[in-house]
Every structure is written in C-alpha cells, then in structure tokens.
Amino acid sequence: MPPYELRQVPAAETRYLRHVVLRPHQRPEELVYPGDEAPDTLHLALYVEGQQHGVASLYRESQPGSKSTTEWRLRGMAVLAADQGKGYGAALLQACIDHAKRQGGTRLWCNARTTASGFYRKLGFAVEGGEFELPGIGPHYLMWRAL
C-alpha cells in the first residue's frame, strides 16, 4: 500500500467522494447527512500524495431500536474505485473504530451495501437481519461489531 495520510476534515470535504463513489445520481444537497455538523461527529479523509482517495464519517448515533448512548454509526465510507482493495478502507475504518473506543463507544454499526458486506465481515462486522433496499441506492445489510 502506498504511503497515506489520514486527516480530520469538515463534512463538506467528504461530499465529493460521497458523490463520485456512493451516490453519483444525487444532487449535492442530498449528500448532506443528518448529524454531519454535530459536535461529536468525526469526518476523516485519506490522502495519497496530497490527493483525497477515501473518506468516512462517524456519528454518535444509536442503532434503530436501541436506547444505548454508547453506539456509533459509520456512514458515507467511500474509497475511489481504482484504490479499493489496497487497504485504504481498512485504515479509515480502523481509525473510526479507535476514535469510537476512545469516546467510550461499545458498538459500531452501519448500513452496508450488500456488495461491501465481505469487506466489513473481514473486519469483524456481523450481519443483523436480512437484506433490505435503500430506495434509490440499492440493497444493504445492517452490520455491526462490538468495540
């Protein structure tokens, strides 16, 4: 894996890759997620030679149906298609895991695209429930892991 740098960035700096990788059919205002500007939300970007190659956002948010205050949600994780499989996604995810743990987090969850579920499984996530459709985006699984 080529050398990379992880940086905390403002939410606005995640939206280009959210658009290109995850939601090319959506308008820019649709790439603003609830909680993007919350004080404890973390947005990370991965840079290679000064160019952004990946992003991930982490929110203090309980899983649907849970009343826990120690759960975190991973959202908007995106790595450029040409860079997938190089370890950048794992590096971003590990940084999110480490941050959530430092904040007292006990569980990390996400709505993972079905096509990305193998990536998450390799990193300790389990599927909860069956596959579901996010309208206009595609099939997903709710996935989680203990911290």
Residue 53 lies in a domain: yes
24-28, 85-89, 97-101, 111-115: least confident range: 24-28
For range 63-82, the mean pLDDT: 94
Specify the number of domains making up the chain.
1
Residue 133 lies in a domain: no
Residue 36 lies in a domain: yes
By C-alpha distance, which of 44, 63, 60 is closest to 6?
44
- 0.75 surpassed by pTM: yes
| Phi, psi angles (nearest 5°) of residue 52 | -75, 125
By C-alpha distance, which of 16, 1, 2, 100 is closest to 55?
16
pLDDT value, residue 30: 82
Residue 73 lies in a domain: yes
Residue 57 lies in a domain: yes
pLDDT value, residue 29: 78
- CATH code for the domain in which residue 86 is found: 3.40.630.30
pLDDT value, residue 47: 97
SS3 97: helix
Tens digits of residue pLDDT in 100-138 = 999 999 999 999 999 999 999 999 999 999 999 988 889
Residue 113 lies in a domain: no
Residue 35 lies in a domain: yes
Domain housing 90: 5-108
pLDDT value, residue 118: 95
Residue 98 lies in a domain: yes
pLDDT at 56 over 90: yes
Tens digits of residue pLDDT in 26-40 = 887 788 999 999 999
pLDDT value, residue 114: 94
